Amino acid sequence: MTNQDNHDTETDILDNLKSSISDEDIIRNCIFCNIANGNIPSDKVYEDSETLAFLDISPVNKGHILVIPKDHHENVYDTPAETWCRVMLTAQKVAVAIKNALDADGINIWMNNESTAGQDVFHAHIHIIPRYNDDGHTSRWSHAKYDSDEEKTVLVDKVKAVIQS
């Protein structure tokens, strides 16, 4: 069995589980919904009518903050555009505050969508991570190479077709 086959099997299992759970159960059991509703305490740094920003309990660096929409949306794919814009405005506000308040040398703004990409809480959230020249972390990715210009053209055409549909 290949890695892709394993992933497909895991995805099928997760999809079946999700279809058997009501929206109310998902929200009731979502840690971020419970934080947004005040049922679980958090160290809030910012809140408005649609978003909440609070300290991550497992920070990459001290001052690592999460920004969430208060309403439950699983990831970037199902977050309404208006809500996504509000989340990003809050992320910008928090990033500027972290940079200035903590004298960070840089900021990572990061989001994982789906388990393959590292999402482990299935409520849309943005990581705002202060970075320092000597923090020992890296955000450098290895880089893939396209086999040909034709391969790039096919990829671009596929993405454009979906955007335009």
Q: What is the mean pLDDT of residues 18-31?
A: 69
Q: Which of 1-15, 27-41, 87-101, 129-143 has the highest mean pLDDT?
A: 87-101
Domain boundaries, the chain: 43-164
Q: Which of 7, 72, 125, 127 is catalytic?
A: 125
Whole-number pLDDT of residue 68? 98
Closest CA to 33 of 59, 67, 68: 68
Residues 49-98 have pLDDT tens digits of: 999 999 999 999 999 999 999 999 999 999 999 999 999 999 999 999 99
**Whether 40 contacts 60, CB under 8 Å:** no
Look over the chain and give the mean of its residue pLDDT values, rounded to a whole number. Answer: 89
Whole-number pLDDT of residue 67? 98
Beta-carbon contacts of residue 86 (< 8 Å; ≥ 6 apart): 48, 50, 51, 69
Which one-letter DSSP state was computed for residue 108?
E
For domain 43-164, the question of CATH label 3.30.428.10 is answered with: yes
Number of helices (H) and strands (E), helices first, in the chain?
Answer: 5, 5
Residues 105-151 have pLDDT tens digits of: 999 999 999 999 999 999 999 999 999 999 988 877 788 999 999 99
Q: How confident is the model at residue 28 (pLDDT cuts 50, 70, 90)?
A: confident
Quick one: tokens of 44?
Answer: 């809030």
Q: Is 125 marked active-site?
A: yes
Beta-carbon contacts of residue 111 (< 8 Å; ≥ 6 apart): 76, 124, 125, 126, 127
Closest CA to 124 of 92, 93, 95, 83: 83
Instruction: Please count the other Cβ atoms lying within 10 Å of the Cβ belonging to residue 2.
Output: 7
Whole-number pLDDT of residue 17? 53
Q: What is the mean pLDDT of residues 15-32?
A: 68
The phi and psi torsions of 19 (rounded to 5 degrees) equal -70, -20
In b/e form, how buried is each residue of 71-103, taking b as 16+ CB within 10 angstroms?
ebbbbeeebeeebeebbeebbebbbebbbeeee
